[in-house]
Structure 1
Amino acid sequence: MNTHYPISSMASSIDFDRFKVIPLSLTSFCSCHSHHLPSTSSQFLHSSTRTLSLSRPRCSISRIGLFLDGSRATEVSGIPRSIFLKHPRIITAVARTEPGHLFDDESKEEVNKRNSTPAGEIPTSELKEKNSQLKKRVVFGLGMGILVGGVVLTGGWVFTVALAAAVFVGAREYFELVRSRGIADGMTPPPRYVSRVCSVICALMPVVTLYLGHIDVSVTSAAFVVAMALLMQRRIPRFAQLTSAMFGLFYCGYLPCFWVKLRCGLAVPALNTRLGASWPIILGGPTQWTVGLVATLISISSIIAADTFAFIGGKAFGRTPLTNISPKKTWEGALAGLGGCIATSVVLSRTFCWPTSTLSAVAFGFLNFFGSLFGDLTESMIKRDAGVKDSGSLIPGHGGILDRVDSYIFTGALAYSFVKMLLPLYGV
């Protein structure tokens, strides 16, 4: 039924759907008194309120419309139309009731759908969507794991070029985050041409590291080029442009280079294991089973274990929030991740006979966990300021490159420093 209530000359309406009224009583919506009305309607209006009653039992109203237009007033229950034209604020009801019909077809369908789903259970469509998303994450996760494992085992230029490609994509995602509305509202992002130049420079840094064996001079030169490009632009340069560009070079370019130094730079053979002595010729022979390869395998495996145990522990026991940067992370999950990371480091150290000291393996696992957690929180902070959930959409079910490698960005520098400076003769 359609019920219209002319209230004023405004051209708007409010619809109320599916109301069950037994009986229906409409009370005045305004504070007008009855003496404002002609005497012809006094028998139907009270002294301070005006009530219109529809006495048909068990009536149903499928739609109530409030129309703010006095010219549409019609005669209801014997009230002349002239009354409403003179007094447009009177609420008028025009109702057609259908006995026995409490809901229309659309309402019945919605109610049946709600009744068919018990409270607390996930609807079938949402459950299928979550299962599909989970399958997608697992499939692409396994594919990436196998690909990364093969690249790490191969080493050399294959490892470096693959890392450079990931760095380039990650740098592009970083500068897009910097240009996003959430961050750009509070600062001036660098121009697009500077962002693209920085992305290319970041991708070249791992290659230069492998070729020269160090990265210090190239980073300094890159920073000088970017700073000059910002200072020579037509618009007035801003300090925020310089800081975001410099951090991009450091975060996306300089830090990942330590993985090249760890995997390819620590070339001391680790032949004190049966696995190293029988390393296949296709992968370079026993001389390619190096400290750098073992350290890289342990570090990457420890980070994967930390993420896995933190997720499981947080789901099962998580109660205390870890930080406001990432509300889903809890202290319980962090402790579970720390335990899984250290345990993985110790087990693999016993398997690979490196490092030879259990205390060194525990310290190595702790550093890997600390670096992975710090990198994860850093990227979460950037995404939170940018107002986005994922850094990109390159990997189905996983987001962007930065979403997958954030735990590895700082870890490479910590792992290389630990092996190079704290372990005598690289722990062999």
Structure 2
Amino acid sequence: MITSLSSMATPSYCDALTVTNPSKTLISFRPSTNLTLKFFHASKARGFLQFNNARFGIRYISPKFSTQTLVARADANLIGDEDPVDVIKVHGSSETDDGSEEQKKSSQLSKRVVFGLGIGITAGGVVLTGGWVFSVALAAVVFAGSREYFELVRSRGISSGMTPPPRYVSRVCSVICALMPLFTLYKGQIDVSVASAAFVVAMALLLQRGNPRFSQLSSTIFGLFYCGYLPSFWVKLRCCMQAPALNTGVGATWPILLGGQAHWTVGLVATLISISSIIAADTFAFAGGKAFGRIPLTSISPKKTWEGAIAGLLGCIATSVLLSKIFSWPTSMLSAIGFGLLNFFASLFGDLLESMIKRDAGVKDSGSLIPGHGGILDRTDSYIFTGALAYAFVSNLLPLYGV
């Protein structure tokens, strides 16, 4: 864009001046003579057109430009002979675009790191605290995640092939899902509550005005199961397994004011190992996929590769074994390896399932609640199935809960 145009010459010096956009062609009509046309450009800097034998100039500021053709002819009233015209063509560069793209990626990475650290530290404190603090925090996450799920169900990509549930039903289901972790903490089990909630929701859908559709029922019941029932197992794992992890050395040094050694239960240790293993799996899978990824893992998520999955599996098992040595739980090396395998496959399946939902919905992220990370489901999809499987592993497969 030309921002200023100044001329100190008389009208006889320049009878016609034409500036067009986007080609930015400068033409002075009349036979030409000696003329030097200089054009200076730098990314995001000023450019200056200088006519040595004329008395005017054009200065402009342009962050980016396409191909620019500059043509000038001097006035024959000044000098009688005619010389060839100097024509300078400057072809647009992508340096500005590349710089802007790199700056954008750097800003996104900074947001991911900052908010990732904040979420990690907060989640660690919540897990260590346990009790109603853990349950209320999980209920808030479940409510936000269920809202995102039902918005995905109502998106054009999914609703074009099915009838979504009424909005009031989805809102009620989100509230029910948020209450499930609290019922689990209070009652110790959730099965009866889930069955009752599913019955009420099904009756509301069947008795609605119009023609009830099976797709409404299936998507709603799956929402109760996916967003409410499965995450509630984290409460059963963290808060309901009160057997003390007597062998861990961390509990012996834990302050009395914070609960002492009794605070370090099997549920706390198992939760810490499971969450840490999932984080390690995601980190190693991302790094391995970036460095060695060649073979696509599945069409559901094209960016995932077999090389990244193998790196994630090794990282998950290594983290599980390392933390089992630190916490002295589980006492068996084979149990630690099995726990790492279970955490990896549960997290991978949860990630792929959420990717399938987003693919059908035609969206990249489930939401925009967390800057640089997307929605709640984008950050917690790996944990949805893991809590239930980890609880089943510890309570049913480990003798004496692995102590």
Q: Give 1:285 shift.
A: 2.1
SS in 2 for 1:123: helix
Runs of 4+ in 1 over 6 A off after TM superposition: 96-99
- The CA distance in 2 between the partners of 1:227 and 1:150, in whole Å, is 38
- The CA distance in 1 between the partners of 2:200 and 2:85, in whole Å, is 80
Task: Give the alignment's TM-score, normalised by structure 1.
Answer: 0.74
Residues 290, 181 of structure 1: CA spacing in aligned structure 2 closer, same or farther, 3 A cutoff? same
Contact 1:209 1:261 in 2 (8 A): yes
Contact 2:72 2:87 in 1 (8 A): no
1:63 aligned residue:
none
1:410 aligned residue:
385
- The CA distance in 1 between the partners of 2:86 and 2:364, in whole Å, is 46
Contact 1:307 1:337 in 2 (8 A): yes
Q: Give 1:167 shift.
A: 0.1
Corresponding position: 1:143 with 2:113: no
Q: Give 1:283 shift.
A: 2.6
1:367 aligned residue:
342
1:305-335 Cα deviation digits (max 9, x unpaired): 0000000000000000000000000000000
Corresponding position: 1:159 with 2:139: no
Equivalent residue letter for 2:171: R
Q: Give 1:271 shift.
A: 1.8
Equivalent residue letter for 2:235: V
- The CA distance in 1 between the partners of 2:210 and 2:238, in whole Å, is 43
1:391-421 Cα deviation digits (max 9, x unpaired): 0000000000000000000000110000000
- The CA distance in 2 between the partners of 1:414 and 1:216, in whole Å, is 16
Q: Give 1:113 shift.
A: 2.7
Corresponding position: 1:341 with 2:334: no
1:113 aligned residue:
93
- Summarize the alignment of residues 16-415 of structure 1 with structure 2, pairs less than 5 Å apart: 100=85, 108=90, 111-114=91-94, 123-415=98-390
Contact 2:72 2:85 in 1 (8 A): no
Equivalent residue letter for 1:314: G
Contact 1:255 1:409 in 2 (8 A): yes
- The CA distance in 1 between the partners of 2:213 and 2:72, in whole Å, is 69
Equivalent residue letter for 1:410: F
Contact 2:394 2:401 in 1 (8 A): yes
Contact 1:342 1:362 in 2 (8 A): yes
Contact 1:309 1:340 in 2 (8 A): yes
- The CA distance in 1 between the partners of 2:373 and 2:387, in whole Å, is 22
Contact 2:242 2:265 in 1 (8 A): yes
Give the number of aligned pairs.
328
Q: Give 1:112 shift.
A: 4.5
Q: Give 1:166 shift.
A: 0.2
Equivalent residue letter for 2:204: A
Q: Tell me the percent identity.
A: 77
SS in 1 for 2:378: helix
Task: Give the alignment's TM-score, normalised by structure 2.
Answer: 0.78
Q: Give 1:272 shift.
A: 1.4
What are structure 2's unaligned runs of at least 5 residues? Answer: 1-21, 24-70, 74-83
